[in-house]
C-alpha cells in the first residue's frame, strides 16, 4: 500500500532540499577556490589554468 503525501507536506519538503543543495554547492566552491594554489603547485601548473575546476 502506498502512502499519498498531501500537497502541503510536499510544499514544505522541497525548499529545505533545495537550500541544502545550494549550501553544499557553495561550500564545495569555497573549498576548491581555497585549494587551487596548492593544487596548482602539486600539478606544476599556473593557478589560472585550474579555473575550470571552479566553474564546473
Q: pLDDT (tens digit, 0 to 9) for every residue of the chain, 56 residues total?
A: 677 777 777 788 889 999 999 999 999 889 988 999 999 999 999 988 888 877 76
Task: For residue 13, tell me if it sits in a domain.
Answer: yes
Task: For residue 1, tell me if it sits in a domain.
Answer: no
Task: For residue 41, tell me if it sits in a domain.
Answer: yes
Domain count for the chain, please give it: 1
Task: For residue 2, tell me if it sits in a domain.
Answer: no
Task: For residue 23, tell me if it sits in a domain.
Answer: yes
For residue 27, what pLDDT is reported?
92
Task: For residue 3, tell me if it sits in a domain.
Answer: no
For residue 4, what pLDDT is reported?
77
Residue 17, all three cell numbers: 532540499
For residue 51, what pLDDT is reported?
83
**Of 51, 10, 37, 17, residue with least CA distance to 25:** 17
What is this structure's pTM? 0.63
For residue 19, what pLDDT is reported?
96
Task: For residue 34, tell me if it sits in a domain.
Answer: yes
Question: What residues make up the domain containing 50?
Answer: 9-55
Amino acid at each position: 500500500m502506498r502512502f499519498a503525501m498531501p500537497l502541503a507536506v510536499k510544499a514544505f519538503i522541497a525548499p529545505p532540499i533545495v537550500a541544502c543543495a545550494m549550501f553544499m554547492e557553495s561550500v564545495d566552491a569555497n573549498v576548491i577556490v581555497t585549494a587551487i594554489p596548492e593544487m596548482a603547485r602539486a600539478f606544476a601548473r599556473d593557478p589560472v589554468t585550474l579555473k575550470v575546476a571552479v566553474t564546473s
